Structure 1
Amino acid sequence: MEEKMKIKEIIVVEGKDDTVAIKRAVEADTIETNGSAIDEKTIEQIKLAAEVRGVIIFTDPDFPGEKIRKTIIEKVPNCKHAFLPKELAKQKNGKKIGVEHAKPEHIRKALKEAHVMDIEPQELITQQDLIYYRLVGDPNAKTRREKLGDLLKIGYTNGKQLHKRLQMFQISRESFVQAMEQIFQEEQINE
């Protein structure tokens, strides 16, 4: 039997089902937030985990998951972040989204690609770039943002949050432009 990949950092997830899914995929310890109303005791656990072993935040690719991520970032800034694209986190019937529905290989890939957000980012991509590349104010903007989040491994964001997320992860202009070219090429193929 193949030995499971070991994760040094403690993984922050939303609940027990996420912990079960993580442990199916890798050998790791988790902290469960038990929903988006994270109490101070849980924040203190995450702070200690960050000091001792490091932390990977791995929440669901939805609004509550992003809210949890944002709450933790404000209080524990140097965490790594792992993201799953929505389509890889869907329940078989497609009704629910969450880490607990992801296949072990997708969880392992997301954890391997986890990275730290920069808290004092430089602006490499401007708001004007988002308009130019039709990531805001366009009928297909949401689909493009989803694809961009997947390609750059930064997760999905709405139009307001995209600029901030690109800055926090210090996405290079070159990586951004390459990803957008790929998205536009796929759109042309699918027309």
Structure 2
Amino acid sequence: MPLSPLSPTTQKFVLHWGEMGSRWGVNRTVAQIHALVFCSPSPVNAEEIADTLEVARSNVSNSLKELQAWGLLRVVHLPADRRDHFVAHQDIWEIFRVVMDERKKRELDPTLQVLRECAAESAQDGALDASTRQKMEGMLEFMEIFMRAYDDFKQLPTPTLKRLLKAGGSIAQFLGPDKKAAKR
């Protein structure tokens, strides 16, 4: 049985979350299920999800497993109901952290590994142009700085992270202009 009919706003949100997910490399149905469970005021079971989104039960089952693997959903049990029900993290900051960690593991960590391998191999590659080597080294330096900053930021408590992000350009003004960059 489907959940009570979704409001137009909830339906718009669920559909858009699916679109955004597909742009980020996440299966559209996986993202829609996450949005639906996130918005639900109570735990939902797989049959309700399948009926509400009008997708195959097997697709829902696989999507739920993926969302659980990411740590975005968890199983809860209701009295007198043997089925698994699902709830989503409700803290948007925690959701953001989970998604960023997964993206880092899947995309950035392998890229950093390849860049490090290229840097190590470049000294023995006689056919490698010096300007290409310099570009690769610059990319490696950028990625290492970015990854260290990410690791530092992800450890911050949510209130501190909020203040930091709200400060935005004020931090750059506080730090002042980069004298080396101004000379270039």
TM-score by length of 1: 0.20
TM-score by length of 2: 0.21
Larger helix share, 1 or 2: 2
